[in-house]
Structure 1
Amino acid sequence: MASKSTVWMVIILIVVIAGIGGYYLYTKPSEGGSNVATITMSTGEKIEIPNGLSGNVMLYTSIPQEIMDGWVKDWNTYFANYTKLDYYRAGSGTVVAKILAEQKAGNVKADVVYLAGYFDFKTLMDNGLITKLPTVPEMNSIPDQYKDPNGYYIMGRLLVMVIVYNPSLVSNPPKSWQDLLQPQWK
């Protein structure tokens, strides 16, 4: 059976690759009796999956259902022979509350957490629920600006929040989020 760190490496890589939109193809182990199966990304990079890997992976996430459906489909296409992906999906605050409640009960079920907000993730780190990511070669292809300098997370997507207004209706638009607190914008 694969070591826990090997399983984590595989799990994290799969989630990260799915999160940044990697496209990969499954290939069978070589005829030479290799003890691994290889996932080949469209970039030519290879990820090795230890033979004998089995069990379920529990992902807790705030990712929209449409994206999650695609991840499950890809997971089942490439990894159904090895492991099953289970998930709990809700808003970030609800996911964090569930994990904290599970911690209090002594039964955290999440293997991997993928949340939208840094502060939600920081809450989990502050409560000792997040461990550092293992060092794997594939992480070298991710720019440093998207990686936590302490090694706890990788940004999987960028959410942009902007103030949108109709210039035909608004002659003097708000210039900042603070401006939106003014009575004229209520």
Structure 2
Amino acid sequence: MKRLILAAAVLISIPTISIPALAQTVTDLPELYGGEKTLYDAAQKEGIVVSFDTGPTWANWAAEFAAFKKRYPNVEITYNDIGSGATVVALDKARNRPQADTAYYFAASAYDAIKKDVVAPFKPVNFEKLPDVFRDPDGKWFTIHTLTIAFLVNKKLVKNVPHGWADLLKPEYKGDVVYLDPRSTGVGQVMSFAANFGAGGDMNNLAPGFDYFAKLHKAGNVLRVEGTTPYAKFVKGEIPIWISYENDGLKAKYADGMGDDVEVVIPSEASVAAPYGISLVKNDPNPNAAKLWLNFIMTDMGQGIFAQGYVRPSVPGVQLAPDVAAKLPPAPQVKPLDVAAAAAKKAEVDAGWAKAALGQ
């Protein structure tokens, strides 16, 4: 999960991309949505958009920056990479003279931003297509991509690939399973809800999930519970089965050399999609450029760029290139996570998991 740590807010400028004289920009292409060219005209007068917490190595933001700059050559974009919690702190400190135009974060932080009154309503293109739990009704935040809980399986270490939560309880997976601590990590919290749904529970009944973890640990199938993301250990071949986000497995498979040794499995019974959202900053210095940016990443083009970075688009029905779609097959068993409800259950998850898994 995207790290939620405090760090100094250092803005970084995107290097100017050379646009050949005959390059196609928004001025000579069909509009992606009605009013795009008019909005670009207004954004050019501002000339820049400041995008908080969109680190280029995360979720394919670097490709989003490049595509935006190519389509809108007269609008520069700058960004920083400070973490979800730090973003809200930075917005709060600068509320009297905002520096940011947009703010990106794990959706739970969006609720904090609303409480602090540092974000403004804006409904971009495709807003109405989002599930209700993936957006603020007034548009003060909305989901732009999701991360889905999956089993990341090293086939060199595991003979039979498990396909569901029930499979992980089998004796053949003794000492094979690694996952993150729900008490201290976001992905661990999200995973606990996925396991609960897979065991037949819901947001109002967490007991099936706790029972599941008790069985998993009693069976001896858990190798260890990690406190930090063990991605490097997985890539080195030290973890047979890692319950984490789907994009970690796809990155290991397609970008970091593991290839066909990795199988990424969304459990058949159920899983959850964790929302990552973005907001327009209240009283931001470049509102037209900000809206141009927010609209762009919510168009089919922008959503497709996220998918190229192994995260699932938030807008249902986006058409993806065949090679990209093959890596992100339909998964109707995935449920959108209501992060507000999940946050309200955190203490119950922490205590229930510790008792079930650790006997504490």
- Compute the TM-score of the two structures, normalised by the length of structure 2: 0.34
Displacement of 1:59 after TM fit?
A: 0.8
The 2-side partners of 1:169 and 1:180 are apart by: 19
SS in 2 for 1:86: strand
Deviations 1:149-180 (A, max 9, x none): 23322211223457987922179315976554
The 1-side partners of 2:136 and 2:217 are apart by: 33
Q: Equivalent of 2:63, from 38, 51, 70?
A: 70
Structure 1 residue runs of 5 or longer lacking an equivalent are 1-24, 30-36
Displacement of 1:38 after TM fit?
A: 4.9
Aligned length: 145
Residue 172 of structure 1 aligns with an amino acid whose one-letter code is K
Is the counterpart of residue 115 in structure 1 residue 115 in structure 2?
no
Q: Equivalent of 1:156, from 141, 144, 161?
A: 144
Q: Equivalent of 1:126, from 115, 120, 125?
A: 115
The residue aligned with 1:181 is 354
The 1-side partners of 2:99 and 2:119 are apart by: 13
The residue aligned with 2:27 is 28
* Alpha-carbon contact 1:62-1:116 (below 8 Å) kept: no
Displacement of 1:109 after TM fit?
A: 0.6
The 2-side partners of 1:162 and 1:178 are apart by: 24
Is the counterpart of residue 139 in structure 1 residue 139 in structure 2?
no
Residue 57 of structure 2 aligns with an amino acid whose one-letter code is Q
The 2-side partners of 1:85 and 1:174 are apart by: 48
The residue aligned with 1:80 is 73
Sequence identity of aligned pairs in percent? 12
Aligned-CA RMSD value = 3.6
Displacement of 1:46 after TM fit?
A: 4.9
Residue 174 of structure 2 aligns with an amino acid whose one-letter code is S
Structure 2 residue runs of 5 or longer lacking an equivalent are 1-23, 153-167, 177-213, 219-348
Judging changes above 3 Å, is the alpha-carbon distance between structure 1 residues 110 and 185 closer, same or farther for their aligned structure 2 residues? farther
Deviations 1:31-77 (A, max 9, x none): xxxxxx7533xxxx555222353211111125562422111111111
Judging changes above 3 Å, is the alpha-carbon distance between structure 1 residues 96 and 52 closer, same or farther for their aligned structure 2 residues? closer
* Alpha-carbon contact 1:62-1:95 (below 8 Å) kept: no
Displacement of 1:93 after TM fit?
A: 1.2
Deviations 1:61-108 (A, max 9, x none): 255624221111111111113x111112221112122222222xx322
The 2-side partners of 1:28 and 1:151 are apart by: 28
**Which stretch shows the higher mean deviation, 146-155 or 159-168?**
159-168
The residue aligned with 2:225 is none
Structure number with the bigger relative contact order (C-alpha 8 A, sep ≥ 6) is: 2
* Alpha-carbon contact 1:26-1:39 (below 8 Å) kept: no
* Alpha-carbon contact 2:52-2:102 (below 8 Å) kept: yes
**Which stretch shows the higher mean deviation, 163-172 or 124-133?**
163-172
Judging changes above 3 Å, is the alpha-carbon distance between structure 1 residues 108 and 185 closer, same or farther for their aligned structure 2 residues? farther
Is the counterpart of residue 172 in structure 1 residue 215 in structure 2?
yes
The 1-side partners of 2:359 and 2:112 are apart by: 32
The 1-side partners of 2:118 and 2:100 are apart by: 10
Residue 142 of structure 1 aligns with an amino acid whose one-letter code is K
Judging changes above 3 Å, is the alpha-carbon distance between structure 1 residues 178 and 159 closer, same or farther for their aligned structure 2 residues? farther
Judging changes above 3 Å, is the alpha-carbon distance between structure 1 residues 62 and 162 closer, same or farther for their aligned structure 2 residues? farther
